[in-house]
Homo-oligomer: A and B are copies of this chain.
């Protein structure tokens, strides 16, 4: 089986943040595969079939995409943000590993603007010093691992980007995250809730972790947490480039 499968990032929502190489890949595609809200962003045109699937079926979606690529179709898998950050690229390689028959299909990954970078840009430069990105979902890892990483990240004084902070299946965990942050970082640490960043529904709020409430995050929110030096300057939030 030969073929090429392209996995692209659409950026967080605003089409003006889709890179030209991704736009060109989409223009040549015969099939676009992805989660429903991301596939909805692709304009319908003759010769293009859209395959939109529900959440949590990443591996089925990857198998389907690889099968079509093996059949000679020009398949593009779409992710929001960057495909390599808590998105479809990893799922495609996992599928490749489990299905050696797909081994000769060439995989091409095209990066995008991931949500944390777009959110950071909207408030200033909170990720201007060393930082980390943690997926808070415990679908794919134990909650204890999430908690341990949060504590070590705080001890390293990383600024943090927290993806998937909250979902209907686990409404209570984000309250625990806020407790850990208050404990490890103190009550005054600055936190940003960036919901639906760069879209018409964008809503961004900045406050201290003491003022933060678990209901402020939902599935469309990326949360940024400053490091010990993160501060406000006018309406902006930034983390200095230097550190003690």
Indicate the size class of the contact surface on chain A: 35 or more
Please determine whether A141 and B18 come into contact, CB atoms closer than 8 angstroms.
no
Please determine whether B14 and A16 come into contact, CB atoms closer than 8 angstroms.
no
Please determine whether B244 and A93 come into contact, CB atoms closer than 8 angstroms.
no
Residues in B with CB closer than 8 Å to A110 are: 121
Copies per complex of this chain: 2
Is A130 close to B, CB under 8 A? yes
Given contacts A111-B113, A111-B121, contact A241 B97 (CB under 8 A): no
Given contacts A91-B241, A242-B140, A243-B141, contact A131 B130 (CB under 8 A): no
Instruction: Name the residue on B nearest A82 (C-beta).
Output: B117
Instruction: Name the residue on B nearest A132 (C-beta).
Output: B132
Residues in B with CB closer than 8 Å to A17 are: 19-21, 111
**What 13 new A-B contacts, CB under 8 Å, besides A132-B156, A152-B155?**
A82-B117, A82-B121, A84-B121, A84-B127, A93-B128, A94-B238, A96-B236, A97-B233, A109-B125, A111-B120, A130-B149, A132-B153, A152-B152
